[in-house]
Amino acid sequence: MTTDPLAQFRWLQAPDADADNPLGDIYCVSFFRGLEPAEVLRRFGPAGPPGQEMTFAELDEKVFEFVQATDGGDGGGHVAAIPAGEWCVAVELWGWEATLGEVLSRLSKSSEVVTVGRHDYAEDDFSYAIDGTVVTSFRPIMPSDRHGSDPNRLADLMREVGLPTEEVDDDAWEARWEDMSNNGLARAFALAAKLTGVEFTAELLFQGPLLVGAIDH
């Protein structure tokens, strides 16, 4: 009997209609070291009102209304913050703000941030930033193509979770692409767990009220 090392992260790559996946096919999850939820919200929306406590269902409804009103071009308009040990997890439903390099630089000032974004109609993303600098960033579909101030900083950890860091020849390229298509996003969340010690689970979304704030574009 074999054990799937990615089992606890498979739900994050499940189809939009899958009951195990409440986040859908566009979302971003970010991990902030040493920040309280209110501070995380302030960084996303410095000009916005203070956060409100909501259930996940209330957040989902609020994001749906925003997307309907804006035709989806501005993301989900809101972010939820959840404390998790020495980290704070920020969840953007239908959002991608933290995957943008210039935004991530601002969000990570005086902190350390790990971001994983899913976007089934564009590109998934993994980024790691420290104090305003994006250290390394890559697409889970092609982890050998990395950018940032120190693209190889996480190479050892990447290989541990099955994210290959080296290019392959033409004969192996198709197999690599298929593997990353099926497993890349789950492996990106496994890498985030290695860095933060936080395994992002669906239960985290439902165990208590979320602090929700508006995103200032």
The reported pTM is 0.96
Residue 217 pLDDT grade (very low, low, confident, very high; cuts 50, 70, 90): confident
| Contact by Cβ (8 Å): 188, 163 | yes
CA distance 94 to 62: 11
Region of 87 (left: φ > 0; alpha: ψ -120 to 50; beta: rest) is: beta
> Which single residue is written with the structure tokens 């071009």?
73
| Alpha helical stretches, state H, 15-165 | 37-44, 56-70, 101-107, 155-160
Q: How many CA atoms lie within 13 A of 86 on its CB side?
A: 8
Confidence (pLDDT) at 49? 76
Q: Give the mean pLDDT of 24-43.
A: 97
Confidence (pLDDT) at 17? 84
Confidence (pLDDT) at 178? 93
| Contact by Cβ (8 Å): 25, 93 | no
The model's pLDDT over 120-156, given as tens digits with 9 standing for 90+, comes to 999 999 999 999 999 999 999 999 999 999 999 999 9
